[in-house]
Amino acid sequence: MNALVAYQDGATGSGIRIGIIDSGIDLQSEEFGDCSRGTGTGSCRISSISADVGGNGTIDDEGGHGTAVAFALAGRRNGAGTHGVAFDSQLVVLRADSPGSCATYDPDDEDSGCSFDDRDIAQGLDIATNAGARVVNISLGGNAPSSALIDAVTRATAAGVIIVMSAGNDGEANPDPFTAPATNAAQSHGLIIIAGSVDGNDQISGFSNRAGTGQNFYLTAVGERVRAPDQENTPFLWSGTSFSAPQISGAVALLAQAFPNMTPGEIVQLLFTTARDAGDPGIDAIYGRGVLDLTRAFQPVGQTFVAGTQAVASNRVNATLSAPMGDARQSGLGMVVLDGFDRAFAMDFANTIRRAAPGKRLTGAIAGRQRSYALGIGDIGVAVRIAPGREGVRIDRLAIGSDDAERARLLAASVTGRLGSDLQYALGASESGGALTARLAGRAEPAFLIAGDPATGSGFESDSGTAVALRHRIGSWGLSVAAEYGDVRTRALATEPDLLRRRERLAYDRMTVALDRRFGGLRIGVTGSRLHEEDSVLGARFGGALGAAGADSWFLDLAARQSLGDGFTFGASWRQGWTQARLRGGIIGSGAIRTDGFAADIGKRGVFGRGDQLGLRVSQPLRVRDGGLDLTLPAGWDYASESVNAWSHQRVNLAPEGREIDVEASYSARFFGGDWGANLFWRRDPGNIAAMPDDVGGAVRFNISF
């Protein structure tokens, strides 16, 4: 029954009363505590309410069946031999065998042995109900119950008592008629479980009556070779549905103790829901609901929520980090969650934060069939690159060619132009606002495939949708403003393996203000921008358990490019960012993050001939320097008040240990009427993940216009 998880969680059955209607119990046995001074005293776990309802004068077992059933249910756990399921529970023993019947047992006569009268069983059931038993085990069978017993069953279930009945041992297609009240809603109130037997491999036992007409209320447990003592304390291996039933009753007791908020109906439904499926898929006529599985029953079932909130918590993925966060590690992220039955579980969510895998940048930079078109009319330039794909044609970001810097700027914008002598504009599709303002300011640089400028991009996977930029020249100064709308591309927070690779698009918008000036051969620029993400934080996605965060980020960029003469240029840029996360869904906390990035390059024109160009760049993509999400999370739950009774302050660390550094050399020249270029690059700690091997590669390209 996979009970180890239940025991590790502290479930023992302590404080739970269980009724057993059977042939009594061995009062001399130490398996139920020291009862030498009488029941209900000292460590004795046999309640003083126990009674002989059959007229035998004592509850002391005569036939052994009752003791074996009681042991399978509640035998002590002392580190030797075997023990019962709910080994700390209290037993209300109701001896109901007719006087002298157990002494008539003859293995050759199937009609011999203990017999039970319905009126005595009914009386025992009433005593157990009045004594506050949470579950009553009836490992008996036979003909349909009398009206008196049906009335007692109805009274018990109406009072919230769960009844577990054996299915019978005749190998029939249906349970014994004795279990008929289970299928009558007015009598059972949904609180009767019919117990069938399986072997250790979840195969139905040959002797066990099948689920048949009772399949909706039928649950199996191992009923073959169950080791338990008889009334003389001699261990035997018992087989029969009589020994499946006490295991299910014990499971009820463990759940009732561990989760005091659960109603009897919820306990029954939980056991049915968490049973291992056997036989035909779903509920079937052989195995009914399946095989008892306490490991599943002691795990969250259904959708889980952070305690005290409506924030959904996943036991698989609660966040997908982005490249700036790389291999950020969590030391622990514990919180209390409630499952679909409002049961509280303490869970550590550190392992549910997924890292972003570093992308293969070279493939993205050169792969695919592309067509570029450019048109210039007066002061207006139009340039588009078309990349046919499976979903049709999309407008994609333009690659920088190897022509002179002025032409490179023109090709990089979708539409550029002038409005008068001092006002320039640019409209872009799949272009960032930062890239547009840089081009309008005349920032020229060698062409690089991998080592990008962190000041002109997002630093994480995104698709710039529409961008517009204006630059107004004021004397030697230039003032630029830009607006950009696009999508953050992040992996889904899905829990199904086939959906984990799915990409989701989350909207963002960015406003940029830039100031630039030229001092002879030196051009400098200062840029400020605000990035608004509604459902992401620097490209990372956080689920409800971690605040379902969005963010506002402010970036300050400094850039300079100096002409050194003789074709040499030197450029550098630096980005500093501050991000403030916004938490939602009832999660209390905040998030402050600092980021930075830089790039430096040197270029030379006319290295081997007129028009060729050589460049070398070192850059660090945007990276979280420090910070994270500081959360106030539930650390304890009080079932009595159904509220959080303890809180803890914890941090989701977003600063990686790895630091990506990109080094790239670029060379381009005119050749046979076209442009050709060669790039070599090296990436250390790709994606800011220290454990990733270095990414080294190169590309040779040839472009021709016609």
DSSP of 579-624: EEEE--TT-EEEEEEEEEEEEEEEEEE-SSSTT-EEEEEEEEEEEE
Place of tokens 């051009």: 523
Whether residues 291 and 390 fall in one domain: no
Supply φ then ψ for residue 96, to 5 degrees: -125, 5
Residue 272 lies in a domain: yes
Say what the pLDDT of residue 383 is: 54
Co-location of 388 and 527 in the same domain: yes
- The residues, any chain, with a CB within 8 Å of residue 650's CB and separated by 6 or more, are 332, 333, 334, 335, 630, 631, 633
Q: CA-CA distance, 641 to 693, in Å (whole number)?
A: 53
* Cα–Cα dist 556/526, whole Å: 7
Residues 369/389, Cβ–Cβ less than 8 Å? no
196: pLDDT confidence band, cut at 50, 70 and 90?
very high
User: pLDDT at residue 280 above 50?
Assistant: yes
Could you tell me which residue, 66 or 452, shows the higher pLDDT? 66
- Structural domain ending residue among the three candidates 260, 276, 297: 297
- Quick one: pLDDT band at residue 392, thresholds 50, 70, 90? very low
Domain CATH code at residue 179:
3.40.50.200
- The pairing of strands 226-229 and 588-605 is unpaired
Count the Cβ atoms, other than its own, within 10 Å of residue 433. 29
Range of the domain at 666: 361-441+510-703
Q: What is the pLDDT of residue 328?
A: 95
Residue 63: phi, psi to the nearest 5? -100, -15
- What rounded mean pLDDT belongs to the chain? 88
pLDDT in tens, 96-141: 999 999 988 666 666 668 999 999 999 999 999 999 999 999 999 9
- At residue 646, the 3 state secondary structure works out as strand
pLDDT band at 16 (very low <50, low <70, confident <90, very high): very high
Alpha carbons 255 and 164: distance in angstroms, whole number: 15
Report residue 351 as tokens. 């392992």
Least confident of 407-416, 461-470, 583-592, 599-608: 407-416
If asked whether residues 279 and 366 sit together in one domain, one would say: no
Same domain for 293 and 368?
Answer: no
Q: What percent of the chain has pLDDT over 90?
A: 67
Do residue 383 and residue 252 come from a single domain? no
- Of 113, 73, 66, 75, the C-alpha closest to 93 is 66
In a domain, 356, yes or no: no
pLDDT surpasses 50 at 153 = yes
Same domain, 293 and 372: no
Q: What is the pLDDT of residue 593?
A: 97
Within 8 A by CB and 6+ apart from 365, the residues are: 399, 449, 450, 699
Which of 241, 274, 297 is the endpoint of a domain? 297
**Does one domain contain both 378 and 290?**
no
* Residue 113 and residue 39 share a domain: yes
Q: Which tokens hold the place of 80?
A: 């030797």
In a shared domain, residues 370 and 273: no
> Catalytic amino acids?
22, 65, 242
206 and 172 in contact (C-beta within 8 Å)? no
* Global confidence as pTM: 0.79
Neighbours of 198 (CB within 10 A): 22
- Provide long-range contacts, Cβ within 8 A and 24+ apart, for 423-427: 423/470, 423/471, 423/472, 423/473, 424/470, 424/471, 424/473, 425/468, 425/469, 425/470, 425/471, 426/467, 426/468, 426/469, 427/466, 427/467, 427/468
Domain-embedded: residue 540: yes
The answer to whether residue 275 scores a pLDDT higher than 60 is yes
**Is the Cα torsion angle 486, 487, 489, 490 positive or negative in sign?**
positive
Q: How far apart are CA 568 and CA 577, in angstroms?
A: 31
* Spatial distance between the Cα atoms of 651 and 466, rounded to a whole number of angstroms: 36
> Beta strands 380-389 and 353-354: pairing type?
unpaired
Residues 492, 525 contacting (CB under 8 angstroms): no
Residue 324: inside a domain = no
Report whether pLDDT(379) > 70.
no
Same domain, 384 and 268: no
| Higher pLDDT, residue 383 or 570 | 570
Phi-psi region of 655 (alpha: psi -120 to 50; beta: other; left: phi over 0): beta
pLDDT (0 to 100) of residue 393: 34
Tell me, yes or no, whether 419 and 288 share the same domain.
Answer: no
- What is the Cα–Cα distance from 515 to 476, expressed in whole angstroms? 11
Choose one of 297, 313, 348: the last residue of a domain: 297
Task: Determine the Cα–Cα distance for residues 636 and 646; give it in Å rounded to an integer.
Answer: 5
On the CB side of 558, CA atoms within 13 Å amount to 3
With contact defined as beta carbons under 8 Å apart, do 663 and 451 qualify?
Answer: yes
Residue among 478, 465, 474, 464 nearest 527 (CA) = 478
| Domains held by the chain: number | 2
Tell whether 265 and 399 lie within a shared domain.
no
Instruction: Let me know if residue 59 belongs to a domain.
Output: yes
Q: Tokens 């005595």, residue?
A: 120
3-state helix, strand, coil in the chain (%, to 5): 20, 40, 40
